Structure 1
Amino acid sequence: MNAPIQEPDPNEFRSKVRRWLEENVPPPSPERLPITPIEVMTFGQRDYLQEWQRKCYKAGLVGTDIPVEYGGYGHKGLQSIANQEMKRAKVPYLINIVGLSMAVPTILRHGTEEQKRKFIPGCLSGEEIWCQGFSEPGAGSDLANQRTMAKKDGDDWILNGHKVWTSLGHFAKWMILLTRTSSEHKYEGLTYFLCPIEGQSGVTVRPLVKITGETGFNEVLFEDARIPDAYRLDEVGKGWTVAMTTLTAERGASEGAGSGGGAGDILGATAKLVELARNSWSGDTLAADNPVTRDAIVQRSIAAEGLRQSARRARVSSLCDHPMRLPLQQKLAVTEFDQENARLGVQIAGAHSTLYKRDSRAPSEGHWPLAYLNSYGNTIAAGTNEIQRNILGERVLGLPKSK
């Protein structure tokens, strides 16, 4: 049974979290960490981040809002505070991002008691890493176009199919998996599983090399793989409904069980631009003295503050005119903010932005070109931003579908 380190008073909890983070700053990673957890490639990176998540979990910074019987701490409404403080402290991110921000909210809503007790504790501690099996070669933004088939065979299901863009699949023990169980209906023919991946017969994980040279993404092939019916989440044919719960959490409508860390520090991103400008030259002119550059950084700072205030507003239900507008808007706005920030960083660095992360002369250790290349994956993930605009227009604003 977990013993929380905090009293339930929010202000006191924030102070204790802040103090704990100050006293438990982890040593630098022996290997350079990627920008986000979905690009973690090596066992050294994984082990370092798993140990950090385990430590945060034991201290009560992860699973804060999750009921005690499922491995959490049972203090409702405090997880967002822990996430905020982890971002403020710029500590390493938590590696089990898919598990914390997608699997846990989905299992809590749709899982049986047995499933909640079995799957959630290891997810919170980081002992069991999760990946997501939604996208396929022919089913990306059109998620309902699933072809991975699950056929019932006694108490098991037999899986055959192909998933792509599977972040952390090479380290995952479990996958949240959307499959087709009926070809007669597009949406009602989908079923959702909690699928074992690690060491499973009939499951092959292959790395996909991105434009950055990193291999955090994978493809996963199922060839007569078996999965017990006990690992089915919700009813047969309810997969689309369950998947919408997952996507709502992924797109920012849920704080997750603890997805904090240095990643996602919006104000810190603009501070990095200032530091870059103070150390970048164009001929005899320092970038920080260039009025055009200064104005561009100020505009990014204004946008950052707007996003920060929108995130604060989203946590107060009485200030939200529609329950989905701000969460959906944040995914769209934050990913494009990150992309514009990285673009500006590359411009400020000028010719030096051609120096990549392994070059000792690269500004900011090669952060800016890496961030810029990475940013395009983020505007695609969780549904492309074009799809996101359609969702906002149709479901939030009530606009008619385009012809």
Structure 2
Amino acid sequence: MTAPQNELDAFRADVSAWLRDNRPADPGFLLPQTFMEVGSDEQLDFLREWQYKVWSAGYLGLAWPKAYGGGGMDPAFQSVADQEMRRAGVPICFNVIGLGWAGPLINDIGTEEEKAKYLKGILSGEDIWCQGFSEPDHGSDLGNAQTRAVREGDEYVVNGTKIWTTMGNYAKYMILLVRTDPEAQRKYDGLSFFLAPMAVPGVETRPIRKLTGEYGFTETFFTDARIPAECLMGEEGDGWKIAMKTLQYERGAEAGAAGGLAFVRIVIDDLVAGLAGVRRDGAPVLEDPLLRDQLVRLVMEEKAIALGDRRAAIAPLATDYPLSLPLSHKLRWTEHTRRMRQFAINAQGADGARYVGDDDALAGGFWQRAYLNSFSATIGGGTSQVQANIIAEHVLGLPK
């Protein structure tokens, strides 16, 4: 049952007032646009302090159990808090893999011991999580994971490499998918899932410098790394099932995230405002008929995504293909975001080539940086091509 509207309205007013009074000042250095660009200690310290402040005020993890640091409230309250954070344009809550993927998974299927051990640290920002799914030679083909874990007494010895482990160099824990039975008849049956500590001998991370010049991603190497057997989630061979459940959270197809902002949200209104002073051939660029036509298409797409998400929560409106909207959200949203940011650069003409650090760049190169960073979202959680296959197979029933 949804919370009474009068309670939600009063709560919204409280959140708005708190954000107005506690919005952090400009730190004097570039802040990440998403959790995938946290690449320096000063960024991490700033964002960790902010997340702790949001959680301490009671605006993060509102729907998680009180016993583990949450608020024990109706999820509608967290939705209100998130809306107000977006409206206020405050910094992100950086520990997204914990808040959005590992935490909901542990909340849902974890043991009481796992919940007590991990959940509060995720909310406070004390314990950073990363994800060990993709591998250099297998990309999004998780079923082909070759990182090995061999049981020796009360430990598993892990060897292999994971890539795109966002904030792996700062993480305390990793959700780790490994192969424990290479002889399994079906490759999916030989995988296991670990809530693995990072601070053990044999685990090494190397930051990856991106096209933007920023960091955030790492490559993680396991060389005879010993992981306690108690870190195994579920049973040996349950890895594929648990990984698929985790990806449901990552792709936005299943609820349970703690909330907070995972990225700087940029919408059409921001695009229009950002291009207001841009001129072409002496006239405002947004008066160009061709650009206006493209802009209207983007407006329609943004509205359709928003309405689609609302429709997905109303069962009678989603009976024909009940999984179509949740399973397609990630593909629709990330590709729309990429196209919108590309439009912003194209509209600048030759000035679209300017970047952060150029005094003449529009908004300090914000749109150029945002466009280049948008590709990480079209890859993470499964590439757009993989998402299209998921929709084809699991929504439309097409053959592989």
Q: TM-score, normalised by structure 1?
A: 0.92
Structure 1: runs of 5+ lacking an equivalent: 1-5
Q: Which residue of 2 aligns with 1:206?
A: 206
2:272 to 251, 268, 274: 274
Q: Which amino acid aligns with 1:64?
A: L
2:235 corresponds to 1:235? yes
Q: Which residue of 1 aligns with 2:168?
A: 169
Q: TM-score, normalised by structure 2?
A: 0.93
* Stretch of structure 1 that moved more, 108-117 or 11-20: 11-20
Give 1:323 shift.
Answer: 4.8
For residues 25 and 170 of structure 2, the distance between their equivalents in structure 1, rounded to whole angstroms, comes to: 23
Q: Which residue of 1 aligns with 2:251?
A: 251
2:14 corresponds to 1:25? no
Q: Which residue of 1 aligns with 2:300?
A: 302
Give 1:87 shift.
Answer: 1.5
Give 1:316 shift.
Answer: 4.0
Q: Which residue of 1 aligns with 2:134?
A: 135
Structure 2 SS opposite 1:309:
helix
Structure 2 SS opposite 1:178:
strand
Give 1:353 shift.
Answer: 1.4
Post-superposition Cα deviations, 1:228-271, rounded to whole Å, max 9, x if no partner, equal: 11111111110001001110000002344334338363xx4212
- Does the CA contact (< 8 Å) of 2:345 and 2:368 recur in 1? yes
- Does the CA contact (< 8 Å) of 2:91 and 2:264 recur in 1? no
Structure 1 SS opposite 2:177:
strand
Structure 2: runs of 5+ lacking an equivalent: none
- Does the CA contact (< 8 Å) of 1:277 and 1:288 recur in 2? yes
Give 1:153 shift.
Answer: 0.9
Post-superposition Cα deviations, 1:297-336, rounded to whole Å, max 9, x if no partner, equal: 2221221122122222334455433553222211001101
For residues 51 and 254 of structure 1, the distance between their equivalents in structure 2, rounded to whole angstroms, comes to: 28
For residues 82 and 174 of structure 1, the distance between their equivalents in structure 2, rounded to whole angstroms, comes to: 27
1:63 to 61, 64, 72: 61
Post-superposition Cα deviations, 1:62-101, rounded to whole Å, max 9, x if no partner, equal: 1111111122111132322222222122111110011111
Q: Percent identity?
A: 43
Q: Which amino acid aligns with 1:341?
A: M
Q: Which residue of 2 aligns with 1:289?
A: 287
Give 1:15 shift.
Answer: 2.9
Q: Which residue of 2 aligns with 1:103?
A: 102
Give 1:380 shift.
Answer: 1.4
For residues 151 and 75 of structure 2, the distance between their equivalents in structure 1, rounded to whole angstroms, comes to: 40
For residues 154 and 28 of structure 2, the distance between their equivalents in structure 1, rounded to whole angstroms, comes to: 45
For residues 106 and 248 of structure 2, the distance between their equivalents in structure 1, rounded to whole angstroms, comes to: 13
- Does the CA contact (< 8 Å) of 1:169 and 1:218 recur in 2? yes
- Does the CA contact (< 8 Å) of 2:63 and 2:72 recur in 1? yes
Q: Which residue of 1 aligns with 2:348?
A: 349
Give 1:34 shift.
Answer: 2.2
- Does the CA contact (< 8 Å) of 2:103 and 2:258 recur in 1? no
Give 1:187 shift.
Answer: 0.8
CA RMSD of aligned residues (A): 1.9
Q: Which residue of 2 aligns with 1:3?
A: none
For residues 231 and 31 of structure 1, the distance between their equivalents in structure 2, rounded to whole angstroms, comes to: 38
Give 1:390 shift.
Answer: 1.3
Alignment length (residue pairs): 393
Q: Which residue of 2 aligns with 1:191?
A: 192
Q: Which residue of 2 aligns with 1:373?
A: 372
Q: Which amino acid aligns with 1:189?
A: G
Post-superposition Cα deviations, 1:200-242, rounded to whole Å, max 9, x if no partner, equal: 2111000111122211111000011111111111111100010
